[in-house]
Structure 1
Amino acid sequence: MSVSMLSTFVKPMHRAGIPFVAGFAAATLVLFWIWDPLGWIGLGLTVWCYYFFRDPVRAVPQNRGLLVSPADGVVSLIGPAVPPAELGLGPQPLTRVSVFMSVFNCHVNRAPIGGKVTAVAYRPGKFLNAALDKASEDNERNALAIELDDGRKIAVVQIAGLVARRILCWTKPGQTLRTGERFGLIRFGSRLDVYLPEGVAPQVALGQTCVAGETVIAVLGQDMLQRHATME
């Protein structure tokens, strides 16, 4: 198999998955020792675990004012909602775009747009089905506020799902993110919410499949620069 074909099927894995894949692999060896059919089941689960933590390179569009999807998955909700109070963005509803990730999606989360992180706020909670609207309020979540060059802010919120039990975020207040830069990860099924600035309309539809770092979900203004992309 050529290198290009191999890279199509074998993606790099995020380091957060190493302990899980190692655990599945060790259990698989034990299962093979007990009974071969169980071992093959364990091998399949080990491959799935590796696939879950994949971290593929993405071609991130760099036009000024583009908001890209922060997650792989399907647009499950579009509509007005109040951003998490802990971010201090005010009580007025903003347009929220929610991207639901199944256990088969890549779960590495990416910044929807470049800017300065002004707040990072974690809140524990329940583990309801992340596709439900009330998951935004009730579930475990981690919220970021990103300030743009023109002073406007957007919110991006990691929401734990039915089987998710751990939200990872390695981004801190004061840090500057690039569009499409990796900022966190959620283990095993979850959702990402993006709250758009006032007056900005989403460019995606319910049920649309999104690719993190690549799919444009909104456009801020008309001052676009010549299109190019970087590999992230």
Structure 2
Amino acid sequence: MKLHREGYTIMAVTAIVLIIINLGINYLLPDGYWIPRLTLIASIVIFFLVVQFFRVPSRVVHKSDRQIVAPCDGKVVVIEEVVETEYFKGPRRQISIFMSPLNVHVNWNPISGVIQYFKYHPGLYLVAWHPKSSTENERTTVVIRTIEGVEVLFRQIAGAAARRIRWYVKEGDKVEQSTEMGFIKFGSRVDLYIPLDAEINVNLQDKTVGSVTVLATLK
């Protein structure tokens, strides 16, 4: 397992701040006993939580042109037929995955193909499970067209705590399934919009493993 580059600055700043706090506590309370030790323990826990958020685990993936894999770790919170209004302007099957602060927050391409459409939307920071977060929060919209012409749309959606969305793709790029496409910092959500005739391979409340879990199979 390695650490993601998006976390280098945050981890360094966190370490410096915690070191200053501990040095200050020890200077102000040289004869103290519990407070400096409790501060040290709390600092170690805080730093560990920050570091684990930016972990990038090694995973064995199996690529398939017909399978749509989870673009992130998390829990399936929505599976329903909806009308997608930004790109398709018609009915699609929506699968939404909620990412807690404890999940790995790397985002992966759910299928291989060409980036047919990309747009960044500034917006609000409603809690990620709010129904309007898909259309009103800060987000990106990415559409991948497969070699067979099937289009899959997915959105990175910022939550109340996640206010930093990163993406590494643009229109016209060729992408491979299960390769890294972006990162969302500190809790968020990803929505996918897939063809209605695709076979759904997950259920509500299922936990997903990004780049590994098969969400659906294309006809």
Q: TM-score, normalised by structure 1?
A: 0.86
Distance 2:192 2:166 in 1: 17
Of 130, 147, 155, which aligns to 1:157? 155
Identity of aligned residues (%): 33
Structure number with bigger Rg: 2
- Please give the secondary structure, in 1, of the residue aligned with 2:119: strand
Instruction: Label 1:72 to 1:146 Cα distance change in 2 as closer, same or farther (>3 A).
Output: same
For residue 140 of structure 1, report the CA deviation from its aligned partner: 0.8
Distance 2:82 2:135 in 1: 10
Of 3, 14, 38, which aligns to 1:24? 14
Equivalent position of 2:67 in the other structure: 66
For residue 167 of structure 1, report the CA deviation from its aligned partner: 0.5
Q: Deviations over 1:49-91 (max 9, x none)?
A: 1100111122111233111000100001111223351xx32x2
Match runs of 1:179-198 below 5 Å: 179-198=177-196
Q: Deviations over 1:95-136 (max 9, x none)?
A: 000000000000000011111001110001111111122211
- Please give the secondary structure, in 2, of the residue aligned with 1:117: strand
Tell me which moved more, 76-85 or 25-34: 76-85
Q: Is the 8 A contact 2:65 2:112 kept in 1?
A: no
Q: Is the 8 A contact 1:99 1:192 kept in 2?
A: yes
Q: Is the 8 A contact 1:25 1:43 kept in 2?
A: no
Equivalent position of 2:207 in the other structure: 209
Tell me which moved more, 99-108 or 170-179: 170-179
Equivalent position of 1:134 in the other structure: 132
> Which runs of no fewer than 5 residues in structure 1 stay unpaired?
1-10, 222-232
Could you say which structure has the higher strand fraction?
A: 2
Match runs of 1:83-232 below 5 Å: 83=84, 85=86, 88-89=87-88, 91-221=89-219
Q: TM-score, normalised by structure 2?
A: 0.91
